[in-house]
A and B are shown apart, each in its own frame.
Chain A
Amino acid sequence: SQTIHQWPATLVQPVGSPLSLECTVEGTSNPNLYWYRQAAGRGLQLLFYSVGIGQISSEVPQNLSASRPQDRQFILSSKKLLLSDSGFYLCAWGTGGDDGYTFGSGTRLTVV
């Protein structure tokens, strides 16, 4: 069966520090991968998606970047965090069509 792992679960980082959040998928090949951010009391905003190794599409301009070094690995990064980067980050994978997405358990990031 397919599973998705996301870590860390929580993270507190100072302003200006770097960030690396990792997401891996098991049990499937060539998945579409997604990073979403959920700000407090708001919906989910799509940040990045990837349809293959090295292929990254950005949905919104921001302080973050994403990479996909391996087929089932998706990394969200920042060189210098801002206070506004605080939020709940969710990784997801999908195969298209009516299956929707399977989400990871999320990372709560607090920038202080």
Chain B
Amino acid sequence: AQTVTQSQPEMSVQEAETVTLSCTYDTSENNYYLFWYKQPPSRQMILVIRQEAYKQQNATENRFSVNFQKAAKSFSLKISDSQLGDTAMYFCAFMRGNTDKLIFGTGTRLQVFP
């Protein structure tokens, strides 16, 4: 069975600085997708960024980028120029290619300080 591990329960960063959130996963599959979701205090789940396993190039969305290391089964999220609005829970998630079921990690609570 696939598992997703986020080893950092809490992180903090100063406004305008850069922070990296870690995620590792375990799978024997070759075709899968990886996601980072943000859950602000409103608790609405928001898709931040996605990565297809067959793509070697790391995904980027504005200030958000990932470091996808397929061999190491690592999928970290880098937030550049952190903003107060980035304060939220961040969940890493895995989807096997033909199942469409998202498996989530336990989350990392990120606090951005002014």
Residues of A within 8 A of B (CB): 32, 34, 36, 42-44, 46, 49, 88, 90, 92, 94-103, 105-106, 108
Contacts and interface: CB of A to CB of B under 8 A. Distances in A.
Main secondary structure of the interface of B (DSSP, over half): strand
B45 A32 contact: no
B45 A90 contact: yes
A32 B106 CA distance: 23
Given A49-B101, A94-B100, A106-B44, A100 B95 contact: yes
Given A90-B45, A98-B52, A105-B44, A43 B105 contact: yes
A101 B91 CA distance: 13
B106 to A, nearest CB: 4
B57 to A, nearest CB: 14
A94 B33 CA distance: 13
Given A98-B33, A100-B47, A43 B104 contact: yes
Interface residues of B, number: 22
From B37, B42, B102, B107, residue with most partner A Cβ within 10 Å: B102
A100 B104 contact: no
A97 B44 contact: no
Contacts of B103: 46
From A44, A103, A105, residue with most partner B Cβ within 10 Å: A44
A77 to B, nearest CB: 21
Interface string B73-91: 0000000000000000001
A44 B93 CA distance: 10
